[in-house]
Structure formats: structure tokens, C-alpha cells
Amino acid sequence: MGEHYSISKNNFDVFRFSKREADKIALVTEGGGQRGVFTAGVLDSFLQANFNPFDLLIGTSAGSLNLASYICGHKGHAYRIIEQVTRSPDFFKLSRFLLTGEGMDLDWLIDKTESDIPLNWKVGQAHLNTKQVLAVAAHATNFETKYFDLSTNNWKDILRASCAIPALHKQPVIMDEKRWLDGGLTTPIPVQAAYDRGFRHIVVIRTVPVDFKENHDWLISLAKMTKNDTLNHMAAMLVTHEENYRKTQAFLANPPDDVIIYEISPNKNLESKLLGSTKKQLDADYQHGKALGNLFLETIASKLSLSHLSPERFLVQTSENKLTDKAQQLKYNAQIDVLWDSKTQGEVLGVERIPLKWININPNDKKQTLVLVNGRNESYWKYKEVILELSQYFNIYAYDHRGQGESGRMTQDHELGHVDDFHDYVMDLYIFMERVVRPNLNGECFMLSHSMGAAVMTQYLSMFDHPVKASAATSPMFGVYIPGKAHGLKKQTLNLLDILANKPNYALGQSHFKKVRYEENVLTHSQVRYQMFVDLFVNNPNLRLGGPSTHWITESIKAGKKCIANAHKVKIPMLILQAGGDLVVSNIAQTAFHEKCHSSHLEVVKDSYHDILIEKDLYRDVAINTLLDFFTSDYRFY
């Protein structure tokens, strides 16, 4: 018997794998409809590592669509097709199918892909010159299996044929005067085909657990009882499918003596479905796929002498050690001082002529611009470490919101967190962009926001003409967390307190600035970064801010709801980094926004507290690298 390695969550099988030679290697991808988002995650982790050593690639159904994105080098492309295009009612609507029999519109899916999210076939053709990519389809009548050689000339017809799920596709797919159906009908996992073509190292990406079993005895029995021709034909197809599936699973579990199977699969049923998945379900499965793809790269690919792996694209330059070790701290402080001394600073008048302080930092003379929009009780001074990292790649602009940081205050109490109207924040950002940033753009413009700043950024992006090409938000405040005694109060109570107040005052349980001990904080797990954050306000009283006013809370609640209601108006790519352990803002509200925003992508930084960008290295490094990858890759497809 040959060798079989399972790359699955909580499976330690891979750690017994030892180094060996692999002169050539094949990749096989299973179908599964929207469950193919798991495969998209695996392949995107490969693209991230510049890993494509495969001489032969064979895909069935959704697996072939994934291979088309992969061979064209588009990280995030397959995810976007599944998340946006296949979830559109123009592609498939269950009620329409039940009432009229109209199923999936594959013509619309392929045409939509070509017009809105086009594949880069220049890159694809370069790969096709040295690699063979096959998409599997099945003859509709005699169930003959056909392996179509993907090319730039007929890729649309081939992908349609490979994905035509029996009884669900709208228009028959005709090629060579024959009608073709989903290749998964006869060849659900085309691993035997790779073996027959001489490949002895075969990577298989599944969309179901290895012990998955299908059984359609109920339909076969129904067909016998009713003697319905359509049901009989469907039952015959399913019998064929099940027989081939069992044969394939037997091959995978007991491969021939001369072959090694590397099987990447979920260890339990995926959250997403064939059709009708939510964005939350798709994101969970996509992240699962990315994690297992990285596990394969670390444990298997690195030992196959393939030399196709690239080094890390980004090196995070700072670490908690550099902030605690005295020698390293001196070096780090010197870097920060040089960076900060290089800044340009200025002032622009916002709504009602409130002065807004801003800075511009570009020590490396970068053309691409990144605008930072900070959260409540923050200042650009807090982001020195982040700016040091990001200024390697961008021309950085940042400003302080009205009522905090170095900008003008609106109440006699310098430390009261207050705003008359949340829309003032949004207009301030618009004014800053139009008068300071936009006139000085020399390249593409991106935007990065945090917490309250994300609510400001989102409203700006949904309301105004703007130059921003892609945006990202860490721990966005789309639902406000009401702390202390006010937590249990209903919205009506807050509104009443707001109305009764004859002047802005602290909300219940809130007060002037107080130094909170590290052990009591809910912002970060990093003690050294938290201490730096606190020291910033202790040593600079002019930057301090205390708790919010009742009116600020009611305005922020309304702002979060407005962001969710208008999520569909955000047209540019938006990355949401959700802090898995957030105790400050509502992750449920972030998910609600994400479901309604057609262009967003959500990734969870597991267990991180709210302030992802000043977290422990364990969480922060993930966030920084994810942000850099998003902004510097082909973000249009992510």
C-alpha cells in the first residue's frame, strides 16, 4: 500500500512526513458548490506563498472554477466569485426554482465573472504553456467522463460544462454536439486520472471530511414506486455518483504502492452549503481552508524539495522585545524619533471651524497613500509604531477627530468625549480628504480605520465621491458597547437622559480620565504596549479624554445602525479585521454589516482584544501582515 497523509485540523498525521524527492506533482480539487470556498482558502494560501509547482491540475465542478482563479494567479478571486456572484438571485433563487423550475444560470455567472471580475489570462496562458489544467464533465446520457483541456479559447464553455449540476442548471451545456453535466457525477474526485497520467505525488483538496458518505436510497426507492422518467434518470445518475465516490474514497484510503496522497480536508462538515450560504458561513470555511493550506506548506511542501516557496513578503519590524530590552529599546526609540522628526504637520478647519490637526509622514518617498482614521479617545501619537511599519510601503496621512487628541474641543470640560452630531465626524473626514489629501495624491489612495473611525470611514465611503481604492477596518464600531451602569439601559432611557440634560455631561458610570491598571484593561493583552498607551495620556494632559457623554452614545448607536443600513453603498473592497475577544464593540453588528456589504471581506484575529494594532505580537503580527497583503496585492479580487 502507498502512503496517505491527512492535512486536517487537529490531525497530527503530517508530522511523521519526512523529506523526499518529487520530480513532478499533481493537484486535484473536488467540487461542492459554495463549499468550494474552502478550496479557495487553501489555494489562496498557496498563492500567498508563491507556491504553484503542479505540472497537472484537475478540477471537478466548483473545483475547476477554483483552478481557473489559481492558474491566473488571482488571490481572492475565487472567494469573491463565490461570495458575490453565486449568492446573487440572478444566479440562483430557490423560490424561482421551486415555482418555475429555473435553476442556476451558468451563462450569467461566467459572463458576470468576465465583465466584473475578469481573469488575467495573460498570467494564465503563461502557466498553461508549462502546466496542464483539466476540467471534468460528464455526458448527460451515457455518463461518459471527459477531461477538457482548459485553454484561453474555450474556458467559458468548459467551466460551464464542468459546473452544470443535474436538475439545477438553467440552460443545457452543449459542446461537440453533446450535452454535458457536472463532472462530479462520474468523477467526484479525479485522483485516479492523475495517477493514470503517471503522477505519484498527488495533492487532493476535499470539501467534505475524509469519512463523508452519501446515500440516496430514498430517491431510488421513490423512483421505483412512481415510475417517473425524470426521477428514474436522476436516480441512475445518483447511483453512478455514489459508486464512483466509494471507489475514489477506497483509492484515497488505500493508494497503490507507488503513490503518495496528500489529502487536505475539513475535519467536520463545513458551515457553507451547496447554495444559499451566508457570508459568515463562507468566511469561516475560507479561513479554515487558509489555515490548512498553511499547515500543508509548513509540514509537507517544505520537505518535498520543490523549491517553489517564497520567503515572507513582509517582515514586521517591531516586537515586544524591542520595547522591553534596553538596548533594543534605545534603537527603536531612535527609529521613532527620526520618523517623527520627518513629519509634516498642519491644521484644517472642520465643521463649525473646529481646528483639526493632521500629520503627513513619508520618509521613503512612497507614491501610494494610506490615510489613517483613528478611534475614540485616540490620537495619531498613539500610532507611532504602526506608522513606522506602514511607512515602508505608504505615504501616511493621519488626523485627530474633533474633541480629542490635538484637535479642537467643543465643551468647557476638556476631557469630555462629546460630539453634537456624528455626521460632523464624517464631514470632517471629507474636508480633510478634499483640502489636504486629495490635492497631493501621486498614486493610489487607501484608507485604514479603527473602531469609531471605521463608522466615520464607512459613512464617508457610502456618501461621497472619493479617491479611495480599497479600505480596511480593525474592530469597527458598527454597534456600540455601553459600559458600566449604562449597560442595561434601553435606547429610550438614553434618549430621555440626553433630552433632559441641559448641557453635555458624562454618561452614567463615566468620568474624567482615569488611569486603568493593565489587569483591568480590555484593549490589549500586551502589557508593554498598553503601558505606552497609558503613558501617552499621563505625560501629555492635552491629549487626554475621559468617558463619553450620553449624547455621544446615542449618536454613536444611530451611526452604527446607519452604517449597517447603508452597507450596500460601499462599493470598494473593504477588509474587516474582527477582534475575536472584543469586549468594546459588537462583533454581531460587524457580521450584520458584512452580510449586507457586497464588497467586504471579514477575517477574525482569534482571541485578540479590541486594540488589534497594539496587541501582543501573537495577534498584531497577523493583523499587520494581513493588512499589508490586502493593500499591496491585487486587492480588486479580494
- Residues labelled catalytic: 61, 182
Whole-Å CA distances, 305 to 57, 257, 514, 531: 19, 21, 57, 46
Tell which residue, 166, 132, 172, has the closest CA to residue 150: 132
Q: Which residues contact 79 (CB under 8 A, 6 or more apart)?
A: 37, 40, 41, 44, 282, 286, 601, 638
Q: How far apart are CA 315 and CA 388, in angstroms?
A: 12
For residue 590 the three cell numbers come to: 460587524
Residue 553 and residue 494 in contact, taking contact as beta carbons nearer than 8 Å: yes
For residue 240 the three cell numbers come to: 453512478
Q: How far apart are CA 163 and CA 184, in angstroms?
A: 8
Angle ∠(405,562,407) on CA atoms, nearest 5: 15
Question: How far does the chain reach from its first CA to its final CA, in angstroms?
Answer: 42
Does an H or E element contain 619, and which? helix 617-632
Residue 449 and residue 473 in contact, taking contact as beta carbons nearer than 8 Å: yes
DSSP 226-273: H--HHHHHHHHHHHHHHHHHHHHHHHHHS--TT-EEEEE--SS--SS-
Does an H or E element contain 458, and which? helix 452-463
Q: Which residues contact 539 (CB under 8 A, 6 or more apart)?
A: none
User: What φ, ψ does residue 636 adopt, rounded to 5°?
Assistant: -60, -20
Tell which residue, 207, 111, 218, 103, has the closest CA to residue 165: 103
Neighbours of 430 (CB within 10 A): 19
Does an H or E element contain 528, and which? helix 527-539
Whole-Å CA distances, 283 to 270, 286, 289, 474, 595: 11, 5, 10, 16, 11
Q: How far apart are CA 414 and CA 377, in angstroms?
A: 12
Does an H or E element contain 372, and which? strand 369-373
Tell which residue, 143, 182, 167, 184, has the closest CA to residue 230: 167
